[in-house]
Structures are given as C-alpha cells and as structure tokens.
Amino acid sequence: MRKFAMYGKFKAHPGKGEALAEILLEAAEQCKSVEGCDLYIINVSEDDPDTIWVTELWNDLEAHDASLRNEDAIAMIQRAKPLIAGVEPIKLKPLGGKGF
Amino acid sequence: MRKFAMYGKFKAHPGKGEALAEILLEAAEQCKSVEGCDLYIINVSEDDPDTIWVTELWNDLEAHDASLRNEDAIAMIQRAKPLIAGVEPIKLKPLGGKGF
C-alpha cells in the first residue's frame, strides 16, 4: 500500500470560481467522514479567483478511486460540472514530511 | 491572520530528482519543530522522477517567510541549488477542508 496525492486544478468559467469553491468545500466536508482520506483542502489561486486547487492526500490510490464512485460525490460532480471550464490533475507519489 | 499555502515545484537536473527529494525531506524534518508550519510534504511527480513538488501550509505568510530566513534553511538551500534546474511556486489562499 502506497499513499497517493494529487493537486486537482479546476479552472472555473469566468466569475464562477467562488461558486465552484463552495461546492468543493461541501465535498471536503463529506471527506471528513471518509476513511483513507488524509487531506482534502480547497484553495484559490493567489493570481486568479477562477482557478481552484484541491490538495488531496489518500492512504492509497484505491481509497481515492472509491471516493469517486460514491453516490454523493457523483451528485456533487454533476452540480459542479456547469461551472468548470477545465480540469488538470497533477498526480504525485508522496514521500514524507510534516503532515504526511 | 490568514493561512497561506503553496505548491513548490522543483525541476531537478536530469537524474537528480532523488537527491533533491532527500534534501527536501531533511527540510521537512526541520519543519516538524517549526510553529506555524502545518504541512510540508515532499512528493515526486508520477510522470517525471526529476519533478519534485512540496505541499506547504502555513499559519500565515509571515511564518512562511520567517522560515526562509532560518540559518539551517539557508544552508539547505545552498546544498540543494546545484541540483535544481528551475523552481515554480504556485501560491494559494487556502479556504478550508479536511486537514486545514
């Protein structure tokens, strides 16, 4: 079992960054009760209010993949979709550190 | 006081990613005793062993800036410099979530 990390970059349609961040903050609330999810932090870019970054850390890739099959998550993705112009995931192998 | 987050992207010279990650993991060890540092996680890109990403979360920007003035940090930066081809920081305003 190897931990899995991801930076999820969401580019919102112009002016929709705040609304998108709110949905992602709801998703983060749900993650609080999900075992296998260590971090799910919503950030907005310092440079662009319509670019939202999600910092994710999971016990393993399977825990991450399972979360996407969750019914609540699927419903949330449907709500977020109209706000999103593009998604770019940066997939990472976490090695260690503070908060690992 | 507002939290501050950053993804620090370090592109190592070819073949130097592992050596760079080791120095950054030492820096992460030092961070463990630094108040104001919530997260300092070292990751390697899934796609490129010479791209290292540092996930940082700080109590405020001042805590982050103070850490760079620390003597040990300055010495570590000097050791890491010859391994680094380029640095690209992504600066973020963290909004909330799990592990925030």
A37 interfacial to chain B (CB closer than 8 Å): yes
Distance separating alpha carbons of residues B32 and B6, to the nearest angstrom: 17
Q: Do the Cβ atoms of A20 and A13 come closer than 8 Å?
A: no
Bridge-based pairing state of the strands B84-98 and A37-45: antiparallel
For the segment B65-71, the average pLDDT, to the nearest whole number, is 90
Query: CB–CB of B53 and A91 under 8 A?
Result: no
Residue with tokens 């993804």: B7
Structure tokens at B98: 């799990």
Find chain B residues with C-beta within 8 A of A98's C-beta: 28, 31-32, 37-41
Q: Which ipTM value was assigned to this complex? A: 0.94
User: Is the pLDDT at B17 greater than 80, yes or no?
Assistant: yes
Cβ contacts below 8 Å, chain A against chain B, sum to 122
Domains of chain A: 4-59+66-92 (3.30.70.100)
Partners of B80 in the β-ladder: none
Distance separating alpha carbons of residues A92 and B38, to the nearest angstrom: 19
pLDDT tens-digit series, residues A23-77: 999 999 999 999 999 999 999 999 999 999 999 999 999 999 999 898 988 999 9
